[in-house]
Amino acid sequence: MSQTVETPEDPILRASQSFGITPEQYMLPARGEIRMVDPSGRLLAPEEQGTGPGHEYPLPAPDVLLGAYEKLVVGRRVNDQNSALVRQGRMAVYPSSHGQEACQVAAALCLEEGDWLFPTYRDTVAVMTKGVDPMQVMAIFRGEWHSGYDPHEHHVGIQSTPLTTQLLHAVGVAHAAKLRGEDTVVLAMCGDGATSEGDFHEALNFAAVFKLPVVFFVQNNGYAISVPLSQQSAAPSLAHKAVGYGMAGERVDGNDLVALLATLRRAVDLARSESEPLLVEAHTYRMQAHTNADDATRYRDDAEVQEWIAKDPVTRMRAYLGAEGVLDDAAEQRIAAAAEDVATALRDGMNADVEIDPLELFRHVYTEQTPQLAEQEQFLAAELAREETGQ
């Protein structure tokens, strides 16, 4: 006589059983940092990938990897173009993600059309990869008063400089989607410095208590501006913080696009199927300064930067795809040309003068304009009129 086995109500127990491991093994990160391709571009054998029971990841399909590589090359070209535009005075500020592009490409590509992405100010490549026009993405760094794109159209939160607030917004969207019965996953990005903020605790705790489908994606680039990770956290890894909130954590090589795609895809799938948050930490590095206003030589030396240049995600992925026969010279030229087209369009758009309407300052502050703002608008309008007439 057959015996029916009931499905556990606890999503962590249910997920761990599906992988044939204990809940403790499921919640804790794998014994090593997940890596599938080494810095030279060599595909690692399963026993070299830093995994363990329940932490095995299938290799993404070749066409997925080639498409991701193209986004990676475009992202690198845009990062470098924007750094040039800042020096030319066409952008007010730019927080470059040169060196972190693999994290951002994978974050966007692991999501379905209806899923939401909440980026940081440094995640322009992720926003572009999610489908937002580069000129719209860069509007905020040009000094526009608006975000440049419609968050609801693209399901992408607004990039902003306040640290960690986007995690609370992400949890709010996930909670609302769950209450409406929507099949939505939210991926919330942050840096290692954000894990020291109170908003980080509040977001993770709320998501875990209310069992919300949020993937918290921490890009650990080693520094909170100039403060090294050793002065931010004493935890074995930032991924280990997850277990304190009752969620699973994983750590992955943030310069290995193959491992990132595999790890984040499974995290999103688990968040969707179990309606349960997860935390993924990616160990990466920003090659350039925090922003154009920062002098990185004051807190890190050239030897450290050179060590990470050898782990560059672009050259690693190019070497791997070339060795696998997925990327040939013709494809490489096509991808480089496509990246240059994006950079050219961005450069031309940023070099075009913008028609400024000073009265626009007053139009979108309140739904119903206050008497004080109305008075100020009328005063400015009169001043502008006098300038036009020369009176």
Q: Return the beta strands (E) in 99-156 as ranges.
A: 116-118
Using CB atoms within 10 A of its CB, is residue 44 exposed (0-12), middle (13-18) or buried (19+)?
middle
Choosing from 77, 266, 290, 316, the catalytic residue is 290
Q: Reply yes or no on whether 169 is catalytic.
A: no
Q: How many residues does the chain have?
A: 391
Instruction: Quote the pLDDT of residue 3.
Output: 52
Which CATH code of 3.40.50.720, 3.40.50.970, 3.30.830.10, 3.40.50.300 fits the domain covering 10-349? 3.40.50.970
What is the secondary structure of 165-176 as a DSSP string?
Answer: HHHHHHHHHHHH
Which residues does 288 contact at the CB level (< 8 Å), separation at least 6? 83, 96, 98, 99, 296
Is pTM beyond 0.85 here?
yes
Q: Which residues pair with 252 in a beta bridge?
A: 34, 282
What number of other Cβ atoms are within 10 A of residue 88's Cβ?
11
Which residues does 290 contact at the CB level (< 8 Å), separation at least 6? 95, 223, 225, 226, 296
Instruction: Quote the pLDDT of residue 7.
Output: 64
Q: In the chain, what are the domain boundaries?
A: 10-349, 358-387
Ordered mean pLDDT values, 10 residues apiece, the chain (391 residues): 60 88 88 93 87 82 98 98 94 95 98 97 98 95 88 95 95 98 97 97 98 98 94 95 96 98 97 96 96 93 95 98 97 98 96 86 90 95 88 66
Using CB atoms within 10 A of its CB, is residue 172 exposed (0-12), middle (13-18) or buried (19+)?
middle
Choosing from 87, 299, 334, 364, the catalytic residue is 299
Q: Reply yes or no on whether 146 is catalytic.
A: no
Choosing from 90, 265, 286, 316, the catalytic residue is 286
Q: Reply yes or no on whether 290 is catalytic.
A: yes
What is the secondary structure of 186-220 as a DSSP string?
Answer: EEEEEEGGGGGSHHHHHHHHHHHHTT--EEEEEEE
DSSP class of residue 248 equals E
